[in-house]
Amino acid sequence: MRRLPLGPERRAQIRDDADFAMELLVREAVSGKPLSTPCPAQVVNISRRGCCLALRRLDCGGFHLHRCLQSPQDYLLEFNLPLPGGGARLVTAELRWLNREPDDQDMPFRAGLALVKHPRP
């Protein structure tokens, strides 16, 4: 089921609704060093270039996601994306935006991620 945009659509890729759990890990962009513990999230929608996540909180094991917005070049987000035939693929993304939305499932935060093709040298 696709959502209808409320206004003019700014994204180049069509987003598909999604509903699956995952764990997000924040890493330092240059060294790849983990900066957080795994943070539970729910994928709300997904496209070829990114996804929207629902989160219970913005603090992931001592690392606050606002830091990713302050210095996006310094942080990468990593998670396993389930594949249609089974299994999963490890993907890396950059945080593009954070919002708070009314939610009846105790996941009031939304995070917009853009997938990164070549995250580290």
**Model confidence, pTM:** 0.81
Q: Which residues 6+ apart lie within 8 Å of 22 measured at CB?
A: 40, 41, 42, 43, 53, 79, 80, 81, 82
On average, the pLDDT of the chain sits at 86
The phi-psi region of residue 63 (left if phi > 0; otherwise alpha if psi is between -120 and 50; otherwise beta) is: beta
Confidence of residue 1 (pLDDT cuts 50, 70, 90): very low
pLDDT in tens, 93-106: 999 999 998 877 79
C-beta of residue 110 within 8 angstroms of C-beta of residue 94 = no
- What is the tens place of the pLDDT at every residue in 21-52? 999 999 999 999 999 999 999 999 999 899 99
Structure tokens at 121: 């040298």
